């Protein structure tokens, strides 16, 4: 769904329309009434329930008495730079977190390897030797 919002206009009469490749779209369009802001100005919101296809030019056209000519706002599907930066920072943080978690796990495993443990016979032994003795008993 695409949304076209117009704020701070006076007088109340305004026309907001949607265009696809230069032709006005009338189906699947809903608009609010002109809403008073409380400061003598108005706002309106128009919605186009539509999934743009590759190569199509979708625009919102605003026609108001205060404008010399209709204002055409072309929908740009590209992601703003600020959004790209947020995604890049989030992905970098995730990768760094995974690397640090893996490093912590490796460090933990290296520190716990070879620690003395008590075998079933009551003797202290390191973990690998204790595992070796528990598998092979010599009589």
96 burial level (CB within 10 Å; 0-12, 13-18, 19+):
exposed
For residue 137, the model assigns a pLDDT of: 46
Both 85 and 61 in a single domain? no
Both 6 and 69 in a single domain? yes
Both 67 and 87 in a single domain? no
Both 97 and 114 in a single domain? yes
Are 47 and 3 contacting, i.e. CB atoms less than 8 angstroms apart? Answer: yes
Structural domain range at position 97:
81-135
80-133 tens-digit pLDDT: 778 778 888 999 999 999 999 999 999 888 887 766 555 666 665 555 544 444
pTM above 0.75, yes or no: no
Q: Helical H runs in the chain?
A: 81-112, 127-135
The model's confidence at residue 6, banded by pLDDT at 50, 70 and 90, is: very high
- List phi, psi (to 5°) of 93: -65, -40
């Amino acid at each position: 769904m695409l949304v076209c919002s117009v704020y701070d206009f006076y007088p109340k009469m305004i026309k907001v329309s949607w265009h696809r490749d230069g032709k006005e779209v009338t189906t699947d369009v809903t608009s609010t009434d002109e809403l008073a802001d409380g400061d003598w100005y108005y706002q309106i919101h128009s919605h186009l329930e539509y999934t743009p296809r590759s190569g199509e030019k979708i625009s919102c056209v605003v026609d108001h008495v205060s404008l010399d000519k209709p204002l055409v706002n072309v929908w740009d599907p590209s992601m703003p730079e600020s959004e790209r930066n947020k995604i890049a920072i989030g992905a970098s943080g995730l990768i760094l977190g995974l690397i640090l978690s893996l490093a912590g796990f490796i460090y933990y495993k290296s520190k716990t390897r070879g620690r003395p443990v008590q075998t079933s016979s009551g003797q202290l032994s390191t973990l690998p030797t204790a595992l070796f003795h528990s598998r092979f008993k010599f009589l």
